[in-house]
Structure 1
Amino acid sequence: MSKLKVGVIGCGSIAKHRHLPEYANNSEVEIVAVCDIVEERVHEFAKVYSAKAYTSYDELLLSPDVDAVSVCTPNYLHAPISIAALKAGKHVLCEKPMATSSEDAEKMIEAAKENNKKLMIAHNQRFVPSHQKARQLIEAGEVGKIYSFRTAFGHGGPEGWSADGSESWFFRKEEAFIGAMGDLGVHKTDLLRFVLGEEFVEVGAFIETSAKQNTDVDDTAVCVLKTKSGIIGTLAASWSYVASEDNSTIIYGEKAILRLEDDPVNSLVVQYKTGEVVKYELGGIQTNEAGGQNNTQVIDQFVSAILQNKDVPVSGEEGMKSLQVVLAALESNETKRITSLS
Structure 2
Amino acid sequence: MNIAVVSYWHVHAEGYTKEVLEKTDSKIVAVWDEEEERGRKYAEEFSVPFIKDYEELLHNSNIQGVIITAPTSMHKELIIKAIKQGKKVFSEKVLALTLSDCLEIKEALLASGKDITLSLVKKCESTFLFAKELVESGSLGRITYARMRNVHNGSTGNWLPEHFYNKEQCGGGAMIDLGAHPMYLLTWLLGTPLTVQSVFTDITGHGVEDNAVSVIEFEGEAIGVAETGFVSVYTPPILEISGTDGTLIVGETIRYATKETEGRWITPDKLPPALPSPLVMWARDQGEEMEAFGIEASITLTKLMEAAYESHTTGKKAVIATGSFQTHPGSSIAD
- Displacement after TM superposition at 1:282 (Å): 7.2
Does the alignment pair 1:272 with 2:258? yes
1:70-219, aligned counterparts within 5 Å? 70-157=67-154, 165-166=160-161, 168-196=162-190, 198-209=191-202, 211-213=203-205, 215-219=206-210
- Displacement after TM superposition at 1:102 (Å): 0.3
Q: Secondary structure at the match of 1:193?
A: helix
- Asked if the contact 1:148–1:253 (Cα under 8 Å) also holds between the matched residues in 2, the reply is yes
- Asked if the contact 2:281–2:290 (Cα under 8 Å) also holds between the matched residues in 1, the reply is no
In the other structure, the counterpart of 2:13 is: 15
> What is the aligned counterpart of 2:242 among 241, 252, 261?
252
In the other structure, the counterpart of 1:29 is: 26
In structure 2, stretches of 5+ residues that fail to align are 322-335
The residue type equivalent to 1:301 in the other structure is M
What percentage of aligned pairs have identical amino acids?
Answer: 24
- Asked if the contact 1:204–1:337 (Cα under 8 Å) also holds between the matched residues in 2, the reply is yes
- Asked if the contact 2:83–2:109 (Cα under 8 Å) also holds between the matched residues in 1, the reply is yes
- Measured on the aligned residues, the alpha-carbon RMSD in Å equals 2.4
- Displacement after TM superposition at 1:72 (Å): 0.6
- Displacement after TM superposition at 1:57 (Å): 2.8
In the other structure, the counterpart of 1:299 is: 279
Which stretch has the larger CA shift, 112-121 or 95-104? 112-121
Measure, in 2, the Cα distance between the counterparts of 1:338 and 1:14. 32
- Displacement after TM superposition at 1:337 (Å): 1.7
In structure 1, stretches of 5+ residues that fail to align are 287-294
Measure, in 1, the Cα distance between the counterparts of 2:55 and 2:22. 27
The residue type equivalent to 1:300 in the other structure is V
Does the alignment pair 1:54 with 2:40? no
**Structure-2 change in CA distance of 1:160 and 1:9 (3 Å):** farther
Measure, in 2, the Cα distance between the counterparts of 1:97 and 1:281. 35
The residue type equivalent to 2:242 in the other structure is Y
> What is the aligned counterpart of 1:232 among 223, 226, 233?
223
Measure, in 2, the Cα distance between the counterparts of 1:77 and 1:207. 25
In the other structure, the counterpart of 2:299 is: 320
Q: Deviations over 1:309-333 (max 9, x none)?
A: 8754311121110111111111112
> Alignment length, in residue pairs?
316
The residue type equivalent to 1:275 in the other structure is G
Q: Secondary structure at the match of 2:114?
A: coil
